[in-house]
Structure 1
């Protein structure tokens, strides 16, 4: 096998090599049935086993309490931006949105088309360099829900602690940091996460929600956009993204076999420390774009002194086998996405490259 790239793409993103190799082995003949999993009925016992096992693994790894269901939906997190207010933002109520960057802003703008929202807190004054403190988030007692974006993939910021919203439902977009660390799911009433950053390939979105929320879908909402539709059918109402769920299943097993979420967090903090140390120890050659207390352990954003220097960094890094280090087109600069599947060795190689580049260009 040729040398694999140092993959720092933001999504679709790196998958564990062990998962890819197992999927390759089972691609033509899934568990001895003489067919690929992509060829079998989603009503078959073989696929139902994958579906049920994957939902159980999500619950096991995250420690999901009783009273919650796990769903596998389609349309990505962006569809959830609309489905959530369609199902939960009822007339006469308002939903609070905490604005922490591009993805939180998109979720809030989508919700405006379905009802009243209010800005529960915003990091705009700091240029989204910091996540608002939990105590600074306005939770109106009559709010339909409060929505947060746990990790801003573009800005490179992440909640260190989640707010307590009391009796008001807390909804979280965990697309880019789900399974990167242990969390208290009971703080949330509804979690959603597109799989293509930290859980698997694109095509499936994981939803974890309290039973009472899933049963509260208004009847005027189209069938496919109602959560109760999918809850009643265990995510098998229509043909699911079979292969995407299968890969998620393998990734969940990989996480479990490597020590679970406690081990993932230790590994992620060790990996990202290498790169943050290269930034902080550069004497200003590299500049971090997020305040230390809000730094993400999934997406590291940084800048150099000029656009010309950043272009040179990208060109030289690509020649060395690094992929995905250009910042998002909306903000520019540089970004390294260090999801669970990105090996420690890749982060060490990037830190070494950064130090060498600084010495040659500083």
Structure 2
């Protein structure tokens, strides 16, 4: 196949070996800051209308996360080490900024800005890949088709059809790996795991920001301080549940996988797919914290209570998907863990602070039990 782009635009891409030291660049960290803004916008949408906001976030997050994760794959294969690549990454940031600004109005008829933002994101992503290979053309076409579905969502007159068009956009891009061969695609395990982890880390920051939002303008007293600290304890437990053991084990599992196709599929299932409930859980939890921390001594409405427990449960289910995909030990333990947290929802109907405390206790106890089980597995069996 002839090259589709001018010769001056083409760059040779040298494969990166597992033993090469490929670190996340400061540009990639800067790039993640725009995702913080998108996360904050999604949190606002959920917090101000829990039911419709949650449904709209679910509809949009599938496509938006897929393309954002796509940039993690991109910089893994084509590191932004040259000026032209850096400029293109910065152009993509402008597209993501437009997306973030347009999120609150994305389901209003005639609002085209989120489609324009996604078009910029997809085009820059495609151009960077096409610098190196024309094998990306079918994926690029699929991504453009998904953008067309987003544009169509802005002009259908009935709101349910907007959900359908966003779901279609997600289905198009999510189905690409099932029809496009992963053979010949090499990934650097340490970098791809670190990039996905950093996105979750900046998203977790939103649950801390939610504490500030919830307490703004309120007088500081013991009840408020205790509720705020409990919110931080919950966020800390979620960090612990993913970053202390799961991501290092995932990196080890990917490094140990010598089959490049199997490695790519593990990343797809364990990081790209499984991190959807992880990120959605953080968004939902942050919205729940906004409801709960400022009213710690009062009962919550059912939606506020569901946001708290449901957000944590979604996060834990995502980590169960990570464990099952790599594979790592005890994925079903995380499912049981999530069910236990979800069962605490009725407590919020009595008192928000009680639900916060109960979730924190269950998370700490669950992590302690997991640590004990892992230690027992490592303990050598005495010889008879």
Shorter chain as normaliser: what TM range? under 0.3
Query: TM-score normalised to the size of structure 1?
Result: 0.23
Greater per-residue strand proportion:
1
Quick check: which one's helix share is greater?
2
Higher relative contact order (CA 8 A, sep 6+): 1
